[in-house]
Amino acid sequence: MINSARPRIIRPDDVILFLDFDGVLHPDAAFRTKHGIELRAEGNLMMHAPILYDILEDFPIVKISLSTSWVRMLGYQRARASLPVNLRDRTVSATWHSRMRATAREGYDLFTRYEQICGAVTRAGITRWIAIDDDPEFSWPEHDDRLVRCDPDLGLGSKQVQYELRAKLQLLFREGGCGEG
């Protein structure tokens, strides 16, 4: 497993899961306050992280890239540190980082999550990836089936979403010929 707090370069042959936090690992009701990030819904921040860890156990080479607004708000290291250690160790990058060219950072917040992820995919040259996101604006094109869309209130607490994530990971490995998963 990867165990560095610094983002590392993603190699084109890496298998990446782009991970949103809000609406995936907990309900989409997290707010930044003077006391830190607070969940204003039932449950706890990162309450579904154990589910993601259990699913990813069957796919040991999958790496995580953060595609969450937490990175923009808190920075990569603090956002990554919000994850439990077992997921933190798989996390190698984010779609946004402070070393991006100024032109890439300038309009970042105006891009949809899909566009942000596609930018990261293009920069890294990766071909095998999926994303898990609540995509509340339904910005993901219908012809692209690499999104596992979560209900913003249930996130990974939904059995259907868990099934879909596992199925898409299995398909990703079957198509890539990894022999894992």
Residue 46 one-letter amino acid: M
User: Do 80 and 63 meet the contact criterion of CB atoms below 8 Å apart?
Assistant: no
- Measured CA to CA, the distance from residue 67 to residue 20 in angstroms comes to 5
- Measured CA to CA, the distance from residue 100 to residue 116 in angstroms comes to 12
pLDDT at 8: 62
The full set of domains in the chain, from first to last, is 15-175 (3.40.50)
Residues of the chain with pLDDT under 50: 1-4, 177-181
Q: Output the DSSP codes for 52-111.
A: HHHHHTT-TTEEEEE-SHHHHHH-HHHHHHTS-HHHHTTEEEES--TTS-HHHHHTGGGS
Which phi and psi angles does 92 have, rounded to 5°? -120, -10
pLDDT at 176: 61
pLDDT at 177: 47
pLDDT at 150: 96
- For the whole prediction, is pTM greater than 0.95? no
- Measured CA to CA, the distance from residue 173 to residue 16 in angstroms comes to 11
CA distance readout (Å), 84 to 47, 88, 114, 168: 10, 6, 25, 23
pLDDT at 138: 77
